[in-house]
Chains A and B, each alone.
Chain A
Amino acid sequence: MSKPAQRTPPRPELPEYVRRLLDGSVDAAVVLDSDRRPLYWNTAYQQYTGLRPRQLAQMAEDERGKCCYHLFPIEVCESMCLGRKAFELGRPVRMDEIHARRADGEELTLIVTATPIPGHMVIETYRDVTADARIQNKYKLLLEHERQAKELLEQKVAERTVALERINEELKRAQAQLIHQEKMSSLGRLIAGIAHELNNPINFVYGNVEFLARYFEDLIDLVTLYDQAPLLPELKKRIEQRKHEIEYDFLRADSDKLLRSIRSGAERTANIVRDLKAFSRVGSGQLQEFSLADGIDTTLNLIAPLIKNRIQVRRDYAPEAPKVFCHVGHINQVFMNVLTNAAQAIRGEGQIFIQIRSLPGERVQVRVTDTGPGVAGEIREKIFDPFFTTKEVGEGTGLGLTISEGIVRNHGGRITVEGELGQGATFVIELPVRPPEHVLAGEGR
């Protein structure tokens, strides 16, 4: 018997089927005795440790041979030697995700198991899950990326939604404006037609009522003369009787009233026709360079009776405000409408404040503020609609602001109203110094 054989205690008998089991295993496996000396190992284990069978056999002879030192840093091996734990506990133990370095320097992630078997032996297996761990890490990374991408997407979607909502709002506004413009333009054509057709009839009603009144007056004069004539009593009696039948005194007084009302009706209709014409005639004729300040002042002179001794007019005209190319008559009409409205809005005493400013982009702004009751929100939307009026019947046609809006729009400008109910109204008229040619080229009816 050889010496080493004597020194070493008898080696426990490893059953054949265990060897076969280990030989067939994909995992690295080693059978250790209670002193942690390798008794048997498979090919995979050899590959892991990088030890040749002879070295391993030598280790088996070596008392201090602790095979796992080849796989793990010694402190790891000591603290978690699974083989010992398995011996102590008398049952299999397992640890996942053990980091180790293979003999060739490759970093590994292992699942390590230790299973005690009869004969004071323990089978340790090492499963290489490095690839799995890598995949898992990659998977985690991918998940993280996905989460971030999702977050980014959601953020983008939110941003886009806001942008789209804003675009949608703008679109709606533009559409409303377009519909409004189209409405105004077709309304303009309709009104032009109506005005044209009304022109002649109202002309002769308006003109002839004067003659009718004059003729009637002459006839009454004649009757009065006859009354003074010395007539035969019988005839006089018949005349008196007829006068009674027709209620002559009433007829005479009422005819005056009738003529007055016809004349007033004709005048009002003539005014409406004039307004309708102005509304539908926007955009023809010649452009002239015009000082808006002059226009305002001229208009204020014209409506002096409305303002005198009642309303204080304060002017704040920027001297640098440029002249504007426009249809002077039409722009004056806008001033007339807006200033008349301001004056009529003020019951009793008050103030009209007129401001003229030069705006960037070659535009001029006129602000007319009154100390009247102001414009309620629901009215503000309708204020430029045709035939909309808050004035008494006969006081306004409800076309003044509609016409003004048409005129200003046709000049490439805009007119808006500001101010809450109870705070006075401000009409803001904005005009470009040079109106767009295409707008003015058309007849604008």
Chain B
Amino acid sequence: MSEEAKKASVLVVDDEPLNRDLLRRVLTWDYQIEEAPDGREALALIKAQRFEVVVADHAMPFVSGVELLRHARADAPATVGLLLTGYEDLPEVQQAQAEGVVFGVIGKPFDQHVLLDLVRRAVEESRQRRK
């Protein structure tokens, strides 16, 4: 199986299980999905296996979405971070975006097509980074 043909891996991180379910439902057709309920578990997974994209909720216990993506960027530079948040214009979110730690922000409640489009572009970005 070639790199392009293989389903890209997406890690979904959200402390709300019903949101993880929904994200899986939206993305599972096109991507290989893994789930983590918080940032700590997510970081363990990122160290253990390769993900093209991490979709993380921002407001989570222990580690915020932005912090998680910052660590992920350091550990796995080719892994592209997407942030799910109800508050797109928080200063730390905007700063993380400016630094490139966050590739895209998805506002909640999200539109499935917007999410799919953003994940598709994030996968492209990841493959670009790996080249």
Within 8 A of B (CB), among A269-312: 270, 273-274, 277, 281, 284-286
Contact at B112–A277, with CB atoms within 8 Å? no
Chain B minimum-CB-distance residue to A330? B89
B74 adjacent to chain A (CB < 8 Å): no
A200 adjacent to chain B (CB < 8 Å): yes
Q: In the assembled complex, how far is the CB of residue A247 from the closest CB belonging to chain B, in whole angstroms?
A: 30
Contact at B94–A196, with CB atoms within 8 Å? no
Residues from chain B with Cβ under 8 Å of A204 in the complex: 16, 18-19, 21-22
Contact at A273–B109, with CB atoms within 8 Å? yes
Contact at A203–B110, with CB atoms within 8 Å? yes
Chain B minimum-CB-distance residue to A214? B25
Residues from chain A with Cβ under 8 Å of B90 in the complex: 284-285
Contact at B112–A329, with CB atoms within 8 Å? no
Q: In the assembled complex, how far is the CB of residue B28 from the closest CB belonging to chain A, in whole angstroms?
A: 11
Contact at A277–B26, with CB atoms within 8 Å? no
Q: Of B22, B87, B110, which is within 8 A of A277 by CB?
A: B87
Contact at A281–B89, with CB atoms within 8 Å? yes
Within 8 A of A (CB), among B93-108: 94, 107-108
Residues from chain B with Cβ under 8 Å of A274 in the complex: 107, 109
A427 adjacent to chain B (CB < 8 Å): no
Within 8 A of A (CB), among B1-21: 16, 18-19, 21
Chain A minimum-CB-distance residue to B113? A210
Chain B interface size band reads 10 to 19
Number of residues in A with C-beta < 8 Å to the partner?
23
A206 adjacent to chain B (CB < 8 Å): yes
Complex CA–CA separation, A274 to B109 (angstroms): 8
Complex CA–CA separation, A411 to B109 (angstroms): 27
Complex CA–CA separation, A274 to B111 (angstroms): 13
Contact at A203–B94, with CB atoms within 8 Å? no
Contact at B110–A207, with CB atoms within 8 Å? yes
Contact at A207–B86, with CB atoms within 8 Å? no
Complex CA–CA separation, A285 to B19 (angstroms): 27
Complex CA–CA separation, A208 to B26 (angstroms): 9
Chain B minimum-CB-distance residue to A208? B22
Complex CA–CA separation, A211 to B87 (angstroms): 25
List, sorted by A's number, 20 A–B pairs whose CB atoms are closer than 8 Å.
Answer: A196-B86, A199-B86, A199-B109, A200-B18, A200-B108, A203-B19, A203-B22, A204-B19, A206-B109, A207-B109, A208-B21, A208-B22, A210-B112, A274-B109, A281-B89, A284-B90, A285-B94, A286-B91, A286-B94, A327-B89
User: Besides A199-B86, A204-B16, 18 other CB < 8 A contacts?
Assistant: A199-B109, A200-B18, A200-B19, A200-B108, A203-B108, A203-B110, A206-B109, A207-B22, A207-B25, A210-B112, A211-B25, A270-B109, A274-B107, A274-B109, A281-B89, A285-B89, A285-B90, A285-B91
A residues with a Cβ closer than 8 A to B are: 195-196, 199-204, 206-208, 210-211, 270, 273-274, 277, 281, 284-286, 327, 329
